[in-house]
Amino acid sequence: MHKRKYPIGPEHYTLYEEVGQGVSASVHRALCIPFNEVVAIKILDFERDNCDLNSICREAQTMILVDHPNVLRAHCSFVNDHNLWVVMPYMAGGSCLHILKAAYPDGFEEVVIATILKEALKGLEYLHHHGHIHRDVKAGNILIDSRGAIKLGDFGVSACLFDSGDRQRTRNTFVGTPCW
Ligand SMILES: Nc1ncnc2c1ncn2[C@@H]1O[C@H](COP(=O)(O)OP(=O)(O)OP(=O)(O)O)[C@@H](O)[C@H]1O
């Protein structure tokens, strides 16, 4: 299928409000001006403390290469000053964490959990099949769009099992979010 090319450069986008703030980045709702389409832009700062350029590049690369309905794919990415902008579909429903905090403080019903997890697991299965391990699956990284579609996001600490060239099959580093 032909995929349209999103424009490269901040002048093609209007930044709206911040919709998320993580350890490594802020995420804004934005308008892609030539397409008149609302998107989300993740802004990663190269100059922040403990910034790891390799992991930033890996995250953007992974997000552009993935192609599965349950995995959040980036439309494009580019450098703007000391930031990397990653343009992606806007997930209007926010993360499961947002929804839990706002409307379901006692947790979702079992049937809702099963439905969400089934979709998230399809995304994970796709990633594993392509040699990626996500390593930070949690409510804040399971996102929902305006039509209820579920996508796994945030590849900040993901890894590729084929990275080392010798098809290394195990990872020993502890990453991700404690308690998840
Ligand atoms: N495409 C999107 N559409 C709407 N909201 C989003 C989108 N991507 C991320 N967000 C929001 O921004 C938050 C932070 O995004 P993300 O998890 O990618 O950043 P991070 O800095 O890597 O976070 P973490 O602290 O989990 O490492 C998410 O929890 C979610 O609420």
Number of other CB atoms surrounding residue 170 within 10 Å: 5
- Cα atoms in the 13 Å half-sphere on the side-chain side of 72: 29
- Tell me the CA–centroid distance for residue 141 and ligand 1, in Å: 6
What does the domain layout of the chain look like in residue ranges? Answer: 11-162
Is residue 49 part of the annotated active site? The answer reads no
Q: What is the pTM of this model?
A: 0.85
| Tens digit of each residue's pLDDT (9 = 90 or more) over 53-73 | 777 877 788 888 889 999 999
- Of residues 176 and 130, which shows the higher confidence score? 130
pLDDT at 108: 93
> What is the CATH code for 11-162?
1.10.510.10
User: What is the DSSP secondary structure assignment for residue 60, as one 8-state letter?
Assistant: H
Long-range contacts of 100-109 (CB under 8 A, 24+ apart): 100/139
Q: Residue with the nearest Cα to atom 28 of ligand 1?
A: 20
pLDDT at 180: 59
- Tell me the CA–centroid distance for residue 94 and ligand 1, in Å: 9
Q: Is the pLDDT of residue 4 over 80?
A: yes
Q: Is the pLDDT of residue 18 over 60?
A: yes
pLDDT at 163: 56
- Residue 42 annotated as lining a ligand binding site: yes
CB 90 less than 6 A from any atom of ligand 1: yes
